[in-house]
Amino acid sequence: MHTDILPTIPDTGSGLARGLLFSRNATLAATLTEELRLVLRIVLVTDSYQELLRAAHETDILALFIHMTPENARQDMDCIVQLRRTHPGIHIHMILDRKDPDLLLEGLRLGVRDCIVPAAGEATPFLQAVQRSLNREEETGCDGFVYGCYSLKGGQGVTTLSVNLADRIHQVTGGRVLLADLNLFMGDVRTMLPPATEFSPFDLIRDIARMDENLLFSSLVHHPCGVHVLPSAAEVSDAEQVHRDQIASMIRLLKRYFTHIVIDLPHDLSERTLTAMESADRILVLVEPGLLSVKSTQKVLNFFRELNYSEEKIALVLNRCHSKGALHPEDVEMVLKQPLFATVANDWSALEQAYGKGEPVAAMHPRRRITRDLHSLAERLTAMTENRPQRGFRTWLHGLFSRS
């Protein structure tokens, strides 16, 4: 069904936030669209899963309503799983014709915002659901996922991975992705994705008390690839003046506004770095297939075990895989006694060209092996977000509600 009461995407004319509705019921579609008319523009009503997923990917969507029917519940749930994986920032609302505790529980477990069972006499069930979900978000923010990229030894490809992983996560999820450089003495993100800003973690920390959404987003760089960037300072700086509590506060703040944060971590084990690691949902430990790299990684993994980091927290990534004369992936796994989470191909020339243009490698070489490896890594990492609690974007819509 593609009702003609509604325009097709994209629609920016009204300036309202956008929503999608999956339903086979034209009456419900008309009621919901009318009820939300002042706060949310339903840009597509469809009963095709494919069309729904495509629209979620192509358009900036705040909320999505899935009208479930018992006979299609399985496929409806599969669609929710897919959407939660690829678009964790979208508020998903289930609509049921009658109360069904099993479906309700399963939906909440998958991360839907709530379950609406429109009852006779209830004036605005859909509007109330949107309002509830935004109020909840007001309290918690996005609560984004944090990925720290790390190696104790320098030159293993940590900055390369951080830059390109951020780009791929944005591509896979369509979320608000931040790439942050915590190499406070001097970092390379600024060179790899050239930003037109002097704003750095030092400024963010200094102004943290007055940092709101507007100030933050006007200070960060929004790179054409879609990723927001917080580079380290342009000149060599005194990282020692930064306390670990300031790093923790900074990451807490950023998690409110971004669905995914990728951190380029310095090659040390300072209190600042360990604090950032504590905040991370995952630490991607980079290793190259050479003896010195494997040795230093072994020490790091042992240290993480002493810190009682869970196995799930650590994702071992073999960079420059299959380069000439290198150790085989199986040998690296055997020595490190840890399975590889991912491998990234060796492709120096593709990376050099990308650095030269100030772009992620996917922009110049979308089909190269290295790009496919990085894309799979982003897919695998973000697929693990399914069972985390609800999250989403703060938008100007909060303001609309709080004013009303």
Ligand X SMILES: Nc1ncnc2c1ncn2[C@@H]1O[C@H](COP(=O)(O)OP(=O)(O)OP(=O)(O)O)[C@@H](O)[C@H]1O
Other C-beta atoms closer than 10 Å to the C-beta of 170 total 24
Number of residues interacting with Mg ion: please give it, by CB under 5 A: 3
Number of residues interacting with ligand X: please give it, by CB under 6 A: 18
Residue 296 binds what, of ligand X, Mg ion, none (CB under 5 to 8 Å, by partner type)?
none
| Parallel, antiparallel or unpaired: strands 91-95 and 177-181 | unpaired
Among the listed ranges 34-42, 124-132, 239-247, 344-352, the one in contact with ligand X (CB under 6 A) is 344-352
Specify the 3-state DSSP secondary structure of 257.
helix
Q: Does 318 participate in binding ligand X (rule CB under 6 A)? A: no
Q: Tell me the C-alpha to C-alpha distance, in Å, between residue 390 and each of 18, 42, 144, 340, 403.
A: 19, 21, 10, 29, 25
Which CB, 239 or 397, lies closer to ligand X? 239
Is the backbone peptide bond immediately before 10 cis, with ω within 30 degrees of 0?
A: yes
Residue 160 binds what, of ligand X, Mg ion, none (CB under 5 to 8 Å, by partner type)?
ligand X
Residue 232 binds what, of ligand X, Mg ion, none (CB under 5 to 8 Å, by partner type)?
none
Structure tokens at 334: 């055997």
Which CB, 155 or 339, lies closer to ligand X? 155
Measured in degrees and rounded to the nearest 5, phi and psi for residue 7 equal -75, 165
Which CB, 35 or 188, lies closer to ligand X? 188
In which order are the strands placed within the sheet that holds 17-22? 40-46, 17-22, 63-67, 91-95, 114-116
Q: Does 347 participate in binding ligand X (rule CB under 6 A)? A: yes
Host H or E run for residue 320:
strand 314-321
Q: Does 159 participate in binding Mg ion (rule CB under 5 A)? A: yes
* Near ligand X by CB under 6 A: residue from 250, 344, 377, 397: 344
* Near ligand X by CB under 6 A: residue from 205, 351, 377, 397: 351
Locate all alpha helices (DSSP H) within 68-222, ordered by sequence: 73-86, 101-110, 125-140, 158-173, 189-192, 201-206, 213-219
Nearest distance from C-beta of residue 149 to ligand X, angstroms: 8
Q: Does 368 participate in binding ligand X (rule CB under 6 A)? A: no
Nearest distance from C-beta of residue 165 to ligand X, angstroms: 11
* Near ligand X by CB under 6 A: residue from 7, 70, 154, 339: 154
Nearest distance from C-beta of residue 368 to ligand X, angstroms: 11
Q: Tell me the C-alpha to C-alpha distance, in Å, between residue 62 and each of 33, 224, 391.
A: 14, 22, 11
Q: Tell me the C-alpha to C-alpha distance, in Å, between residue 149 and each of 34, 41, 273, 319.
A: 47, 39, 11, 12
Which CB, 76 or 188, lies closer to ligand X? 188
At 380, the amino acid letter reads R
Which CB, 151 or 371, lies closer to Mg ion? 151
For residues 167 to 206, the per-residue mask of contacts with Mg ion, x marking binding by CB under 5 A and - elsewhere, is ---------------------x------------------
Among the listed ranges 35-43, 68-76, 150-158, 206-214, the one in contact with ligand X (CB under 6 A) is 150-158
Structure tokens at 118: 């429109």
* Near ligand X by CB under 6 A: residue from 33, 133, 159, 343: 159
Measured in degrees and rounded to the nearest 5, phi and psi for residue 174 equal 70, 10
Which residues are 18's β-sheet partners?
A: 41
Nearest distance from C-beta of residue 148 to ligand X, angstroms: 13
* Near ligand X by CB under 6 A: residue from 33, 46, 151, 246: 151
Nearest distance from C-beta of residue 137 to Mg ion, angstroms: 34
Which residues are 314's β-sheet partners?
A: 283
For residues 259 to 298, the per-residue mask of contacts with ligand X, x marking binding by CB under 6 A and - elsewhere, is --------x-------------------------------
Asked if 225 and 178 count as a contact pair (C-beta separation under 8 A), the reply is no
Q: Does 157 participate in binding ligand X (rule CB under 6 A)? A: yes
Q: Does 156 participate in binding ligand X (rule CB under 6 A)? A: yes
Residue 366 CA to residue 378 CA, distance in Å, equals: 15
Residue 257 CA to residue 395 CA, distance in Å, equals: 10
Q: Does 94 participate in binding ligand X (rule CB under 6 A)? A: no
Q: Which residues bind ligand X (CB under 6 A)?
A: 151, 154-160, 188, 267, 319-320, 344, 346-348, 351, 370
Q: Which residues bind Mg ion (CB under 5 A)?
A: 158-159, 188
